[in-house]
């Protein structure tokens, strides 16, 4: 019997090792080499024990690598009976393939990226040119185009709604796409004419940015992203 119980003893194991039949691959000896290897009885000093622990550690290392290779082999179709190098070759192909597909899709769709961001744009700003004071506008209609990208989470929508409401803005249009635990949204926000009269445009945008960044930008982004590698996927929400 193959003894690989020490395989995942301390290592940050990202993949599930199935305990039964760890490597479904040709030429895997089904004997424990440590029992097979006869160390001479006359040479049982600390050198021998060091050598033994060394070879055991090395076996653990090999097992870790091979375990990943075997999970990789399960992910790649028709990779059974493949060479190690050939397997890795098809993995390279698949990664490139999938990367190409996802970036291609990202171009045609409003797809979330890996970078948190919040942008705010004043759509009808050109009507204010020539006006010295920003708070005195010729036109009362205010439309803000807001786009954000961040990790998805259940409370996100209610937080956004509360934030938008608190600034007396209303959602004219929204396009939200969620993908792989990330979410990207583009909102068209309107300020009612009544409210628009009393508001300084600059501070409104500032406030909106602050509150949106508080919602969207994850604290210590890099750490969070590393921890939340494995996330669920779900279908995109689309509402108006």
Q: Which residues bind a second copy (CB under 8 A)?
A: 11-15, 61, 64-65, 67-69, 71-72, 75-76, 84-86, 88-105, 107-109, 179-180, 229-230, 233-236
Q: Which is nearer to a second copy, 7 or 199 (CB)?
A: 7
Q: Are 212 and 118 in contact (CB under 8 A)?
A: yes
CA atoms of 233 and 180, how far apart (whole Å):
5
Binds DNA by CB under 7 A, chosen from 13, 44, 57, 193: 57
Query: What sign for the dihedral angle of Cα 193, 194, 195, 199?
Result: positive
217 binds, among DNA, a second copy, none (CB under 5 to 8 A by kind): none
8-state DSSP, 240:
-
* Shortest CB 200 distance to DNA, Å: 55
Tell me the CA distances in angstroms from 106 to 16, 89, 134, 164, 189, one per residue in order: 30, 26, 37, 27, 24
H/E stretch holding 80 reads none
In the list DNA, a second copy, none, the entry touching 58 (Cβ below 5 to 8 angstroms by class) is: DNA
Residue 146 or 179: the one with the smaller Cβ distance to a second copy is 179
Under the criterion CB under 7 A, does residue 37 sit at the interface with DNA? yes
Work out which of 6, 19, 21, 34 binds DNA, going by CB under 7 A: 34
- Does residue 26 touch DNA according to CB under 7 A? yes
Q: How far is the CB of 218 from a second copy (least distance, A)?
A: 17
Q: Rounded to an integer, what distance in angstroms lies between the CA atom of residue 186 and that of residue 173?
A: 8
Q: Edge-to-edge strand order for the sheet containing 117-122?
A: 117-122, 142-151, 182-191, 169-179
Burial of residue 64 (CB within 10 Å: 0-12, 13-18, 19+) is middle
Is residue 62 near DNA by the rule CB under 7 A? Answer: yes
Q: Looking at beta carbons only, is 103 or 140 nearer to a second copy?
A: 103
* Residue with Cβ nearer a second copy (100 or 214): 100
The site partner of 46 among DNA, a second copy, none (C-beta below 5 to 8 Å per kind) is DNA
Q: How many CB atoms lie within 10 A of CB 73?
A: 20
To DNA, the closest distance from the beta carbon of 25 in angstroms equals 6
**How many residues touch DNA (CB under 7 A)?**
32
Residue 179 contact, options a second copy, DNA, none, Cβ 5-8 Å cut-off depending on partner type: a second copy
Compute the distance between CA of residue 190 and CA of residue 144 in angstroms, rounded to an integer: 6
């Amino acid at each position: 019997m193959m003894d690989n119980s020490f395989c995942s003893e301390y290592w940050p194991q990202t993949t599930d090792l199935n305990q039964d039949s760890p490597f479904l691959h040709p030429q895997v000896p089904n004997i424990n080499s440590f029992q097979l290897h006869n160390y001479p009885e006359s040479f049982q000093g600390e050198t021998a024990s060091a050598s033994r622990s060394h070879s055991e550690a090395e076996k653990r290392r090999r097992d870790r690598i091979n375990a990943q290779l075997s999970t990789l082999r399960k992910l790649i179709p028709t990779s059974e009976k493949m060479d190690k190098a050939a397997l890795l070759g098809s993995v390279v192909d698949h990664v490139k393939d999938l990367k190409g597909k996802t970036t291609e899709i990202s171009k045609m769709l409003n797809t979330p990226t890996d970078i948190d961001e919040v942008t705010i744009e004043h759509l009808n700003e050109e009507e204010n040119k020539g006006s010295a004071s920003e708070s005195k506008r010729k036109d009362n209609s205010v439309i803000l185009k807001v786009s954000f990208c961040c990790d998805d989470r259940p409370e996100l929508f209610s937080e956004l709604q509360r934030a938008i409401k608190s600034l007396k803005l209303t959602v004219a249009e929204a396009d939200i796409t969620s993908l792989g635990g990330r979410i990207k949204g583009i909102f068209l926000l309107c300020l009612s004419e009544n409210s628009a009269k009393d508001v300084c445009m600059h501070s409104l945008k500032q406030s909106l940015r602050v509150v949106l960044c508080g919602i969207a930008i994850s604290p210590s982004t890099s750490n969070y992203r590393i921890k939340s590698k494995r996330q669920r996927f779900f279908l995109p929400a689309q509402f108006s």
